[in-house]
Structure formats: structure tokens, C-alpha cells
Structure 1
Amino acid sequence: MNYYQQNQPQTNTVPENHDLVMKGRKLLEITGVKEVESFDNEEFLLDTVMGALAVRGENLQMQNLDVDKGIVSIKGRILDIVYLDEQHAEKAKGFFSKLFK
């Protein structure tokens, strides 16, 4: 690393890669997360580098959140993992924004 690279401000960029690793339907680790749109104990709505992702289950809790690296870990009973197209993602976001006003 040269002097120029060392003195450049660090930017928070989410890695381009996106992986899902599930351990026994009890722990889900997700990389490539740009933003956590909303979450509760039954559903997480995430914006990833591959599109909107909904994780549904029971007793869901955020185990780990690293915004700089784009990593989210969800603990609980995972029932459903689905990518939402733009139309479904907007409906889900609209529903949650009304719910939390």
C-alpha cells in the first residue's frame, strides 16, 4: 500500500458478494446487505446487493449486525427465505412504513 492509498478516507461500501449460510434452521448469516429495511420477531426485510430479501420465522432476533461489512445474522426458527421482485418489495416496504408510523 502506498502513501496515497494509506491517506485516503475509508468509505463504507458493502461487498459485492452475497451469501446466505443457514445453520440448522436456527441461525442465518447473510452477507451483501445494504440496509435492514424493517424487522420484528416474525419477519426481516433486507435490501441486499442481489435485491430485496424477506426472512420469515418465529422468535427471530438480530444476532449480529455489521453495517460496514454488510453482514447480518438472524437467530430464531427460520421458516421462509424469499427474494422479492420490485413490485413485491415496494408493497412490503409500504406496509411496514404504515405499521411503524
Structure 2
Amino acid sequence: MEERQPVKAHKLVVNNRKTSMVTGVLDVLSFDLNEILLETEQGMLMVKGTDLHVNRLSVEKGEVDLSGNIDSIAYSSVSQAGHPNDNFFAKLFK
């Protein structure tokens, strides 16, 4: 019988598409001025936009503050612990 893992806390707050506060962050996988990829308690989170910046990162608390012009936010349930032969980005954009 498979045990279900308890859902951990995760919160995403976006203010006027200019700033964002994210909790439940496990890792920042990549970031540049146009895209930020976060691993959260609820799956992968991709933030796209322009002039994006990671203003504050607290690994201990699992919190990230972002700023810039946020155009889109997308979740994916793909984890990095998947199969080694699977293309991560192909799964992310299914």
C-alpha cells in the first residue's frame, strides 16, 4: 500500500505583476532576466517576463522575493527525480 506524503505549505503572491513573494521553495534551478525556474513543494514553477530579478532568497525558510515585469506563471508537476532518459523541458511544456 502506497503512503501519501502530506502536502507542504506553498504560497505565491503577485502584486501588480511587478513583484512576487513565493514560499515553499526547495531550490532555484535557473534564473535570468526573462525566466526564473523554481522547484517548490507543489512542483516546478516557471515565471516568465522581462527584467526579472531574485531580490531575496532564504533557503532555510524556503522563501523567494522576485521583481520585474511578470508576463506568465506556470506550474508543472515534473520533478528532477524523474527518469534520467526523460527530457525535463519536454515534460514541462506538455
TM-score under structure 2 length normalisation: 0.75
Matching residue of 2:89: 91
> C-alpha distance in 1, partners of 2:22/2:35?
15
Give ranges in structure 2 of 5+ residues lacking alignment: 1-7, 80-86
How much does 1:90 deviate? 1.2
Matching residue of 2:41: 49
Q: In the alignment, is residue 81 of structure 1 matched against residue 73 of structure 2?
A: yes
Moved over 2 A (4+): none
> 1:24-75, CA deviations, whole angstroms, 9 ceiling, x for partnerless residues?
1100100000000000000000000000010001000011100000000110
RMSD between aligned residues: 2.0
The number of aligned residues is: 77
The structure carrying a bigger helix percent of its residues is 1
TM-score under structure 1 length normalisation: 0.70
Larger radius of gyration: 1
